[in-house]
Amino acid sequence: MPTDEHSLMDHAFEENIAQLLHRQLTGEVLSAAEQQELEAWKNKSVHNAALLQKINDEASIHQLLQTWHNIDRNRAQNKVRFLAMLQPPVVRQPRLRLLRSKIFRYAAAATLLIGIATFYWQQQHPNKPAVAFRETAPIAPGKEGAILTLADGSQMVLDSAGNGLVANQNGTRIMLQNGQLAYNAGGGTSGTIAFNTVSTPKGRQFKLILPDGTSVWLNAASAITYPTAFNGHERTITLQGEAYFEVATNDKAPFKVTAGEATTIEVLGTSFNVNAYTNENNIRTTLLSGAVRIKAYQQTVTLKPAQQAAVKPSTAQLVVHNAVNTDQVLAWKNGLFNFENASLDEVMRQLERWYDIEVVYEKGIPPTRFGGEINKQNTLQDVLQILEGSNVHFQLQGRKLIVMP
């Protein structure tokens, strides 16, 4: 254990490094002595070296800032579209613009220095256990990608496939363009129905357009099964995991989602989110626009925008929640973790799916609740550093994350 004197010296050293990193990121030229001090700090640990590399990589900073801008733009557009359904005469489209470069650079500085801020917190709480994940190789966030399973059982990894024709199923051409799967209907074989499945492993998410024009965003560790052509009087698909739907309108063929053993969601044309992971307590359907009808365990409800139906298989109950925070529900789609009022186990399940890790609890699940949002493009270690501010501690062994009291 270091002495108190050494701890104070380390604290002063790290505080000075934080100032140097901030000055460098905001465009100041450092002296030779200051650059030498940064180099010595970089050589202290793998985490320090990775952080400095982020700051010095102009392309990485630009990509991070563009990601933040896209997140803000998507959230603003989703909110405008939702409010327009409620009060069409009042809502005006907001102007969306990039913040000035200087402001972006300060925001990036704040994000990249989170690790040092966490160090300050630890210095003020000397009795807490030391963090046991900073020296491990960074675990990267998830990315776009999925596996396509064709009707004959053959599989294709879509995140490694190039643009163009992927397959032909009963006359329907399956195309991949810029990471998005789409179906071009053709003359299918009469009386023959072919089903495809798109599944996302942990650490992947994906967008596809179904043969009827419905857009689907799949969250990590999810799967959707559907016919390659909708020829009947209804459009039925099966979902495991989580997905956001923007359904193509067809009054003659209702769109139906089967989730779990007893839940069916029926719509005509609308946008909604379904969370049906098997390790969650409820199957949650959240409506953004239009109307959906939920059927489960001999119960039926019709949702209005901003309502959520929660089906609990363990008790065969169906409950409706009003005035749901749709920003929180759609955070995953818009590049964010939204942990507002989330329990520790809820947070850990999201991290398991996005970073492809296993979470274990050393002594049960602490009764901790969180708040706020975190960019999903952070490494796992960056996210853990933020979460430690709520007095939870972690040990990372490979891809196993141990939660300690």
- DSSP string over 14-33: HHHHHHHHHHHHTTPPPPHH
pLDDT over threshold 90, residue 122: no
Task: Specify the domain boundaries for CATH 2.60.120.1440 within the chain.
Answer: 143-329
Domain boundaries 336-404, corresponding CATH code: 3.55.50.30
Task: State which fold the 143-329 domain adopts.
Answer: Jelly Rolls (2.60.120)
Collapsing DSSP states into helix, strand and coil, what is residue 216?
strand
Through-space distance between the first and last CA atoms of the chain, rounded to whole angstroms: 20
Instruction: Tell me the C-alpha distance between 151 and 148, whole Å.
Output: 10
- 207 close to 264: Cβ distance less than 8 angstroms: no
SS3 of the chain: helix, strand, coil, percent, to 5: 30, 30, 40
pLDDT at 253: 92
Taking only the tens place, the pLDDT of each residue in 289-348 is 999 999 999 999 999 999 999 999 989 999 999 999 999 999 999 999 999 889 999 999
pLDDT over threshold 90, residue 5: no
Q: What is the DSSP letter of 319?
A: E
Residue 207 has, within 13 A of its CA and on its CB side, a CA count of: 12
Task: Specify the domain boundaries for CATH 3.55.50.30 within the chain.
Answer: 336-404
Structure tokens at 42: 């970089």
pLDDT over threshold 50, residue 169: yes
Structure tokens at 177: 């363009």
Q: State the residue for tokens 């300690």.
A: 404
pLDDT at 61: 59
pLDDT at 23: 73
Collapsing DSSP states into helix, strand and coil, what is residue 198?
strand
